[in-house]
């Protein structure tokens, strides 16, 4: 047994190597489809998260799928698929989402572009194509048309501005404001 079992094990191992198939390169483990030369040329961050506070200490969180500095503009950064959260108080907040953003660190602003959506913790949803978010004070401005849906109402306007005055948030709609109020819904 001391001789037969080791010889039998050696025979089994040798048959594994002798009769195995050569590796097929088409069945290899897939690697990421990225252009390595492009990655080396460009400076880019994957899934960056920026967090900060407003002047009164409320939190601002900014998340993107990817971000890259703007050529010839050292204080600007372009971000794709952006989500942001701005605390309005201890219990209320707004969530912002857009296809892209241009963050200007010197002006401390983020210009959200492309299918911008705001959702408030109170159930209101706002849509626009462009918004400018301040990163140091509570200020959200939409220079273009906005559409709002929420509990009991639908609203559309040419412009919108959310600011804060004496600790209270003020939301102003200007130009062609149309509101439909339905107290039963």
Residue range 28-50, pLDDT digits in tens: 666 666 666 666 667 777 888 88
Closest alpha carbon to 171 in 115, 112, 126, 108: 126
Give the residue from 46, 130, 113, 50 showing the smallest Cα distance to 85: 50
C-alpha span between 91 and 107 (Å, rounded): 28
Smallest CA-to-CA distance from 67 within 84, 49, 86, 53 is with 49
First to last CA, the chain: 86
Domain range summary for the chain, segments of one domain joined by +: 44-181
Phi and psi (nearest 5°) for 57?
A: 100, -5
Residue 96 contacts residue 131 (beta carbons within 8 Å):
yes
- The alpha carbon dihedral of 180, 87, 46, 68 has a sign of positive
25 or 130, greater pLDDT: 130
Could you tell me the pTM of the whole model?
0.70
pLDDT digits (tens, 9 = 90+) for 70-121: 888 889 999 999 998 888 888 888 899 999 999 898 888 889 998 999 999 9
Domain 44-181: top CATH class = mainly beta
């Amino acid at each position: 047994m001391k001789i037969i079992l080791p010889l039998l094990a050696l025979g089994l191992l040798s048959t594994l190597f002798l009769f195995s198939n050569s590796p097929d390169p088409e069945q290899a483990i897939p690697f990421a489809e990225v252009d390595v030369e492009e990655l080396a040329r460009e400076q880019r961050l994957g899934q960056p998260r920026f967090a900060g506070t407003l002047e009164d200490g409320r939190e601002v969180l900014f998340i993107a799928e990817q971000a890259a500095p703007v050529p010839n503009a050292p204080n600007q950064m372009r971000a794709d698929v952006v989500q942001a959260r701005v605390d309005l108080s201890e219990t209320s907040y707004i969530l912002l989402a857009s296809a892209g953003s241009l963050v200007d660190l010197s002006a401390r602003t983020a210009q959200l572009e492309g299918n911008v959506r705001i959702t408030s913790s109170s159930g209101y949803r706002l849509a626009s194509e462009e918004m400018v978010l301040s990163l140091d004070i509570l200020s959200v401005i939409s220079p273009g048309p906005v559409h709002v849906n929420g509990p009991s109402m639908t609203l559309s306007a040419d412009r919108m501005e959310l600011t804060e005055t004496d600790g209270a948030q003020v939301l102003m709609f200007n130009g062609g404001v149309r509101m439909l109020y339905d107290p039963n819904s």
